[in-house]
């Protein structure tokens, strides 16, 4: 395989016209330089230098030299461009739990730019348990997750509460709605938060039945069909055949917080971004 080192050896020897000087220029000894040259000639299928009595380019070598120089120059410019890009634009990998309301997603994604942080942000939506695993594995920098949850040594910001609404079939009395199952996401996505939600519902002495849905759209469909009720922090979620009321009896706030790995390289910058995201949450929430 043709490598950058092969090209460096070729150009250095062409310009120095001496094996020892060329080896010193590329930072190796003369035997590896000679081996590299032989490999390059074998790869190209041509002889590049006449070696007696002096080191001079063959006709084929002279024809190929400008191309080798251009290739090395392109590689140098590529690295320089990458360095400029890295210096000027930090990449932020942000995870969002599906419970994060749609109206809040854009606000969170715009937070670094609004604060003057030059960055490219990538956003991924996944359950809280998955987000925590991805942060621990270095695949995400930060995540907005539901609370409570087991952090296993990860760092976390302030817990912020968001009001929720109960969506029920239009025309149903509260008593009728209480007999319907509650549409919920799978417990495995955030076990501690799920248990707190169910325990809070049960604190009024109600027997809580649930129906698992993949997302709030599916839950909304069940509500409209008269088959379930749904608790949501999305203040825009509604539809035909659906009534909304604020969830105050009992209060069922959505609890969100920013999580990151404070032990990883670059944790200081990540913590600064986490603080900005937490500020956005607190501005929009009630905590």
> Tell me: the pLDDT tens digits for 116-169?
877 788 899 999 999 999 999 999 999 999 999 999 899 999 999 999 999 999
Same domain, 265 and 144: yes
Residues 173 and 235 in one domain: yes
Q: What is the CATH number of the domain that holds 72?
A: 1.10.10.10
Asked if 241 and 208 sit in the same domain, the reply is yes
The predicted pLDDT at position 280 comes to: 94
> Using an 8 Å Cβ cutoff, are 264 and 138 in contact?
yes
**276 and 199 assigned to the same domain:** no
* Selected residue with higher pLDDT from 200 and 178: 200
- 36 and 95 belong to one structural domain: no
Tell me, yes or no, whether 135 and 277 share the same domain.
yes
Question: Is 111 buried (19+), middle (13-18) or exposed (0-12) by CB count in 10 A?
Answer: buried
Confidence of residue 86 (pLDDT cuts 50, 70, 90): low
Which of 35, 58, 86 corresponds to the end of one domain? 86
pLDDT of the residue at 285: 84
Domain boundary among 52, 68, 86: 86
* 69-96 average pLDDT score: 76
Q: What is the DSSP letter of 251?
A: B
% of the chain residues with pLDDT over 90: 55
Establish how many alpha carbons lie within 13 A of residue 170's alpha carbon, considering only the half-sphere containing its beta carbon: 8
Closest CA to 286 of 260, 259, 248: 248
Q: Which of 86, 110, 131 is the last residue of a domain?
A: 86
Is residue 248 located within the same domain as residue 260?
A: no
Q: Same domain, yes or no, for 124 and 229?
A: no
> pTM above the 0.75 mark?
no
CB 194 within 8 A of CB 187: yes
Domain span including residue 189: 164-252
Do both 129 and 266 map to the same domain?
A: yes
- 195 and 130 co-located in one domain: no
CA nearest neighbour of 247 among 231, 236, 234: 231
Task: Look at the chain and report how many structural domains it folds into.
Answer: 3
SS3 261: coil
**CA separation for the pair 33, 45 (Å, rounded):** 18
Examine the domain organization and report whether 117 and 134 are in the same domain: yes
The neighbour count for residue 282, using CB atoms within 10 Å, is 15
CB atoms within 10 A of CB 78: 10
- Between strands 119-125 and 90-96, the pairing is parallel
- Give SS3 for 83: helix
Check residues 47 and 81 and name the one with the higher pLDDT. Answer: 47
pLDDT at 102 over 70: yes
Residue 204 confidence class, pLDDT cut points 50, 70, 90: confident
Quickly state the pLDDT bin for 113 (edges 50, 70, 90): confident
CATH number of the domain encompassing residue 119: 3.40.190.10
How many other β-carbons are positioned within 10 Å of the β-carbon of residue 231?
A: 20
CB 14 within 8 A of CB 4: no
- Are residues 169 and 246 located together in one domain of the fold? yes
Sequence-distant (6+) residues with CB within 8 A of 126 are 95, 96, 97, 98, 134
């Amino acid at each position: 395989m043709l490598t950058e080192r092969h090209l460096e050896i070729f150009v250095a020897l062409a310009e120095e016209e001496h094996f020892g000087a060329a080896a010193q220029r590329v930072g190796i000894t003369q035997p590896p330089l000679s081996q590299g040259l032989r490999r390059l000639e074998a790869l190209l299928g041509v002889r590049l230098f006449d070696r007696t009595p002096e080191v001079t380019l063959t006709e084929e070598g002279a024809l190929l030299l400008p191309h080798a120089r251009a290739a090395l120059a392109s590689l140098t410019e590529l690295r320089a461009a990458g360095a400029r890009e890295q210096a000027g634009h930090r990449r932020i990998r942000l995870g969002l739990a599906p419970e994060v309301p749609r109206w809040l997603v854009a606000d969170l994604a715009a937070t670094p730019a609004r604060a003057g942080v030059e960055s490219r942000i990538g956003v991924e939506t996944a359950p809280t348990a998955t987000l925590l695993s991805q942060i621990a594995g270095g695949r995400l920098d930060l995540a907005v997750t539901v609370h409570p949850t087991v952090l296993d040594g990860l760092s976390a910001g302030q817990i912020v509460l968001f009001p929720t609404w109960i969506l029920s079939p239009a025309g149903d009395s509260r008593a009728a709605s209480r007999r319907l199952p509650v549409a919920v996401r799978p417990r495995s996505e955030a076990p501690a938060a799920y248990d707190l939600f169910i325990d809070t519902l049960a604190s009024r002495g109600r027997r809580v039945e649930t129906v698992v849905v993949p997302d709030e759209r599916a839950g909304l469909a069940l509500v409209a069909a008269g088959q379930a009720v749904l608790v949501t922090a999305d203040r825009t979620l509604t539809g035909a055949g659906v009534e909304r009321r604020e969830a105050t009896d009992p209060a069922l706030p959505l609890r969100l917080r920013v999580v990151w790995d404070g032990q990883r390289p670059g944790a200081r910058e990540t913590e600064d971004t986490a603080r900005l995201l937490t500020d956005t949450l607190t501005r929009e929430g009630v905590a």
